[in-house]
Amino acid sequence: MGLAGEATDGEVVRAVLGGEVERYAVLVHRYRDRYARYAARMLGSRDAGEDAVQDALVRAFDRLADCREPAKFAGWLFLILRNRCFAERRRRQREGRPLDERDDGVAGADRPDGTLEQTERMRALERSLAHLTPEQRDVFVLKHVEGLAYEEIAARTGATVASLKMRMHRAYDRLRDLMKEHL
Amino acid sequence: MSLGYHPLVKQLLDGELSLADLPLELRAEGAEALRLIGAVDRTSVVLSPALDDRVMAVVRRHAGSPARRAWHWLAAPRDVELRLRLRPVVWAGALAIAAGVALLLLARTPVATPVPASVARGGARDSVFVRFVLYAPGARHVAVAGTFNQWDLNAAPLARAGSSGVWSTTLALPVGQHQYAFVVDGERWVADPAAPAIDDGFGRRNSMVAVTARGAHTL
């Protein structure tokens, strides 16, 4: 058994469930940034993503006894975060506010690595992503932002590869329509 | 009118084809599609350094809450057996006492944690009584649907125990394996977090319970 920071997820989860509440900080530190980009791209801003990650980590603690496979804490936490992002997106759609108004997307306005045209295209894509369904945006972010293969997304989400492809292909068509002035 | 990408261009975007694999007449469309994907922002996102402290502050509050400790005590007894050698009326009395103990505890310490559930078990000579319990404080209506009632959303409503947020019902199930899920407010399907679940093939998770002449247990 090594230092707390080197303990496996399973060991930490069991320790927390055994009453060592402070050990949960290991999991917070380990996973706070891993899914930050996913959450930010799902919700359109870093701030909204941070709120979602924070909420997911608290919910995971509250429901830790339900984590049947402590060694797979990371995947379980991701599903909690994903559900949180879906719920937030649906709430905003009901309110007619698909994009976080505090921050016009996460694409920077003055990126040093791109032309003005490229930067504008990135921002247009970010705005367009806000018009996809949560399910379409989810698969788009996981594949094209996180770089996962369909099979990896299927393993992570429980969906079939065929259904993921169908969602993605509909997203491509929708994005082409939304982005036609920028392509 | 919207114009979708050609299926081969979609394969290009999926990384299954290269631009050179496309017929000449689709290359311009393919190049346009690649410009779209090229606009994806993959820069990493750095969260506030204060996030760790904020999470742990909430975690410490929740960990110290009597409600959480009470709920864990209540949710833990997955192995509570209500032996059905008793006559039904005696069994009902035993169940009422057990429920009374649980509800007394809950009444004193309202639970704030979300949606744990459990199945308490009992048996009978020709049927087995299975108690379904769901903690859903915000729900207006809860039912359990499964293979034992043809997934009828109205066949087995759960009763709310006061204002505790705990819903429960006891059903007599035939021997065999059964899949089930809770239905909250008539539309939200919730797998029992206290029981293993399987994919139903339609994107939902169903819980499993095995019923034998000697009792019942989750699978």
- Nearest residue in chain A measured CA to CA from B202: A159
Q: CATH class for domain B66-218?
A: mainly beta
Q: According to the model, what pLDDT value does residue A2 have?
A: 43
Q: Which of A79-93, A108-122, A162-176 is predicted least confidently?
A: A108-122
Predicted-assembly ipTM surpassing the 0.90 threshold: no
SS3 annotation, B7-56 = HHHHHHHCCCCCHHHCCHHHHHHHHHHHHHHHCCCCCCCCCCCCHHHHHH
Is A29 found in the same domain as A74? yes
Q: Which of A3-7, A134-138, B171-175 is predicted least confidently?
A: A3-7
The model's confidence at residue B211, banded by pLDDT at 50, 70 and 90, is confident
Q: According to the model, what pLDDT value does residue B203 have?
A: 61
Whether residue A103 is predicted with pLDDT greater than 50 in this model: the reply is no
B56-80 residues labelled b (16+ CB within 10 A) or e (exposed): bebbeebbebebbebbeebbeeeee
Total structural domains in chain A?
2
Is A154 found in the same domain as A95? no
Strands of the sheet with B117-122, listed across from one edge: B81-82, B117-122, B128-135, B166-173, B159-160
The model's confidence at residue A100, banded by pLDDT at 50, 70 and 90, is low
Asked if A32 lies within 8 A of B52 by C-beta distance, the reply is yes
Q: Within an 8 Å CB–CB cutoff, is residue B1 touching chain A?
A: no
Residue percentage of chain A with pLDDT more than 70? 88
Q: According to the model, what pLDDT value does residue A142 have?
A: 96
Residue numbers of the domain that contains A118: 113-183
Q: According to the model, what pLDDT value does residue A112 have?
A: 53
Interface test with B, best of A144, A156, A160 (most B CBs within 10 A): A144
Delimit the CATH 2.60.40.10 region(s) of chain B: 66-218
pTM, whole model, 2 decimals? 0.60
Q: According to the model, what pLDDT value does residue B72 have?
A: 54
The model's confidence at residue B76, banded by pLDDT at 50, 70 and 90, is very low
Whether residue B108 is predicted with pLDDT greater than 50 in this model: the reply is no
Which of A29, A46, A182 has the CB atom closest to B45's CB atom? A46
Q: What is the mean pLDDT of residues B112-132?
A: 52
Is A101 found in the same domain as A14? yes
From residue A73, alpha-carbon distances to A16, A150, B40, B91, B134 in Å are 12, 21, 29, 40, 23
Q: According to the model, what pLDDT value does residue B91 have?
A: 43
The model's confidence at residue A113, banded by pLDDT at 50, 70 and 90, is low
- Nearest residue in chain B measured CA to CA from A40: B45
Is A150 found in the same domain as A180? yes
Is A26 found in the same domain as A44? yes
Chain A residues touching residue B41 (CB < 8 angstroms): 41, 106-107, 122, 125-126, 145
Strand partners, B211: B176, B216
Chain B residues touching residue A54 (CB < 8 angstroms): 51, 54-55
The CATH number assigned to the domain holding A131 equals 1.10.10.10
Is A82 found in the same domain as A19? yes
pLDDT tens for each residue of A40-69: 999 988 999 999 999 999 999 998 888 878
Residue percentage of chain B with pLDDT more than 70? 65
Chain B residues touching residue A147 (CB < 8 angstroms): 42
pLDDT tens for each residue of B127-170: 778 888 888 888 889 999 888 887 777 889 999 877 778 888 88
Is A65 found in the same domain as A10? yes
Question: Count of CB atoms within 10 A of residue B14's CB?
Answer: 17
Which of A106, A129, A156 terminates a domain? The answer is A106
Pairwise pLDDT comparison (B176 vs A160), residue with the higher score? A160
Of A14, A61, A30, nearest to B62 by C-alpha is: A61
Q: According to the model, what pLDDT value does residue B87 have?
A: 39
Chain B residues touching residue A41 (CB < 8 angstroms): 41
